Amino acid sequence: MKSIAIIGAQWGDEGKGKFVHLLSGKADVICRYQGGNNAGHTVVTGGKKYVFHLIPSGILKEDKVCIIGNGVVVNPYALQEELDMLKGAGIDPDSRLFVSDRAHLIMPYHIELDAASEEAAGVGTTRRGVGPAYSFKYARMGIRTCDLTEKDYLDRVVTLALDEVNAILVKRFNRKPVLKSDVMQKIPEYLDILNPCTVNTSKLLNEYIRQGKRIIYEGAQGVLLDVDFGSYPYITSSSPAPGGILTGLGVGPKSVGQVLGIVKAYTTRVGSGPFPTELKNEVGELIRKRGVEFGASTGRPRRCGWFDAVSVRHSLMVSGTDTLAMTKFDVLDNFDMIRVCTQYEIDGKKTSDFPSNAAVLERVVPVYEEFEGWDKSSGIRDYNKLPDAAKDYIRTLEEMLGIEIVMLSTGADEEDTIVRGKLVLD
C-alpha cells in the first residue's frame, strides 16, 4: 500500500510539518485525522514560513488533495483564518480541501470551558477548546458539520450543552453564562465557511484508496500526548498514534502502508506534565534558544531536555512505527557532551519500561549515556559529510531504539535534509 502515516513519537512539535511537506511531492492526498487547531505545523519553503494549525501542510503543493477527517475537531474561524492566509500567499485551496461532514465543531463554549478550567488548575492546554470539544463528542452532545442545517437537532443539543456548560462556568468558575442566542447567531457564518468544502470524506478517501492513490496521514501532537498511551492525564484528548487514523478517517487497517515516526534529536514538551530528561538549567536554555523552541500555536516557551530513548521506545512500540526521521539535529552542534536517557530509575529500581502512571513518571531519575559532541552538522545534506561523533550518535540511537533513522533534518529549510533510506512512497 503506497501510503504513509507521519506521526510524532515524542510530546509533539517534532517537526512533522517539514516531512509532510517534503513527502507530499510524492503523494496525491494528505489527511489530518485527529486534534484541532491546537497543532502548529511549520513549513519553510522558498524562503517563506507557513504555520498550519488545521489544514494539512500538504496544501502548499498545488495539485494535492487535502482532507480534514471526522476525527479532527474543527473551529470554523480557525479554518477561515488559514484559508485567508493561503489565499493571501497566492495558494488556492478551493476544490481540493475537504472537511468531513462528521467532524465535530469546536463551539465557543468549548473555548470558554477550556480557558476557565485552565485558569483554575489545568494541564497547560492550548486553550483552543479541543479537550471540551472531544468531551462533548463522547458525551453525545457534539455539533458536527452535517448538523449545522438541522435546526431541531441544533436547538436541542445547544440547549443541552449550555445547561452543562453554564452550570460549570457559573457555579464552579464564577464566570458569566454563555447565551444561546450568541451561539445560534454564529451558525450561518459557520455554514458559509464550511458548506463549500464539507463532504463525506470517508467515502472520498476510500475511493482514492481503491484507485491506488498515494496517501499521507498527517499526525498532530505526538504519541506521548495520546489519550491512551501518553502521560495521562497530561495529554491531549485525541489519538495521535496510528489507531486514530482508522477512526478519524473511516478507513480500514490495511490502508496504512508504513508508519514514519518523527523525533527531535533531543526532547521538548509544552504545558505541564512529567518530563524525565528536562533540563532546568543553562543547557536547557541553550537548546531552547538555538532550537527556537517556542510553541507555533501559543508562543509558549517549550521545556527542553535530552533525548529520552525509554519514552521513544514506548512510542514506537504502541504505534508500530516502521522507520524514523530525526529533526533539529543541528541544534545539538557545538556541545562538548551530549546525553541520552537509556533507562529509568524508579524508587531505586532500574527499568526500560515507560510507566503508565504520571505520578510514577514524575519520580523517574533518568539513567544517561554520554556522547562526545561535534562541531557542525548544520546545513549538511550528505550523511557521509557529518562529523564522526554525529554519526556515532545516530548509529547508537538506532541500536537503542531498534529502528533505522532514514532521514535527518539539519536546518529549517526543506533542502537541509539528509536522506539515507527509501520510504514506501519512493
Active site members: 13, 41
The 22-41 site mask, x for binding ligand IMP (CB under 6 A), equals ----------------xxx-
Q: Is 291 within 8 Å of 283 (Cβ atoms)?
A: no
Q: Is 271 among the residues that bind ligand IMP (CB under 6 A)?
A: yes
**Sole binder of ligand IMP in the list 116, 225, 304, 361 (CB under 6 A):** 225
Fill in the per-residue mask, 233 to 252: x = in contact with ligand IMP (CB under 6 A), - = not in contact: ---xx---------------
Q: Which residues, in sequence order, are bridge partners of residue 6?
A: 218, 260
Q: Between residues 124 and 177, which has the closer beta carbon with respect to ligand IMP?
A: 124
C-alpha cell recorded at residue 99: 472537511
User: Measured from the CB atom, is 274 or 355 closer to ligand IMP?
Assistant: 274
Going edge to edge, which strands form the sheet with 215-218? 198-199, 97-100, 65-68, 29-32, 215-218, 3-8, 258-264, 323-327, 405-409, 417-419
Cα 216 to chain centroid, rounded: 14
Residue whose C-alpha cell reads 562529523 in the numeric block: 387
Shortest CB 122 distance to ligand IMP, Å: 8
294 vs 379, beta carbon nearer ligand IMP: 294
- In the block, which residue shows the cell 526500560? 352
Least distance to ligand IMP, CB of residue 241, Å: 14
Nearest one of 142, 145, 133, 154 to 199, comparing CA atoms: 145
- Of 217-225, 308-316, 328-336, 370-378, the segment contacting ligand IMP by CB under 6 A is 217-225
What are 253-258's contacts with CB under 8 Å, separation 24+? 254/1, 255/1, 255/3, 255/209, 255/215, 256/1, 256/3, 256/4, 256/5, 256/217, 257/1, 257/2, 257/3, 257/4, 257/424, 258/3, 258/4, 258/5, 258/322, 258/323, 258/423, 258/424
Rounded to a whole number of angstroms, the minimum distance from the CB of residue 382 to ligand IMP is 31
**Considering only residues 105-144, where is the footprint of ligand IMP by CB under 6 A?**
123-126, 128, 130-131
Site for ligand IMP in 320-349 (CB under 6 A): none
Residues in 168-207 that interact with ligand IMP by CB under 6 A: none
Pick between residue 335 and residue 354 the one whose CB is nearest to ligand IMP: 354
Binding mask of the shown chain, residues 143 to 172, with x at each position contacting ligand IMP by CB under 6 A: ------------------------------
Q: Which one of 13, 28, 82, 308 is in contact with ligand IMP (CB under 6 A)?
A: 13
Count of residues near ligand IMP by CB under 6 A: 19
Considering only 4, 6, 7, 12, the residue that binds ligand IMP (CB under 6 A) is 12
Report how far Cα 15 is from the mean position of its chain's Cα atoms: 9
Q: Cβ distance 36 to 72 under 8 Å?
A: yes
Measured from the CB atom, is 125 or 342 closer to ligand IMP?
125
Is the bond into 233 cis (omega within 30 degrees of 0)?
yes
- Closer by beta carbon to ligand IMP, 113 or else 187: 113
Cell of 322: 516502521
Q: Letter for the amino acid at 99? A: V
In angstroms, rounded to a whole number, what is the distance separating the alpha carbons of residues 175 and 112?
A: 9
**Nearest residue (beta carbon) to ligand IMP:** 271
Does residue 293 touch ligand IMP according to CB under 6 A?
Answer: no
Helix H or strand E encompassing 409: strand 405-409
For ligand IMP, give the closer residue by CB, 225 or 424: 225
Residues 222, 236: Cα–Cα separation, whole Å: 9
Residues in contact with ligand IMP by the rule CB under 6 A: 12-13, 38-40, 123-126, 128, 130-131, 220-221, 225, 236-237, 270-271
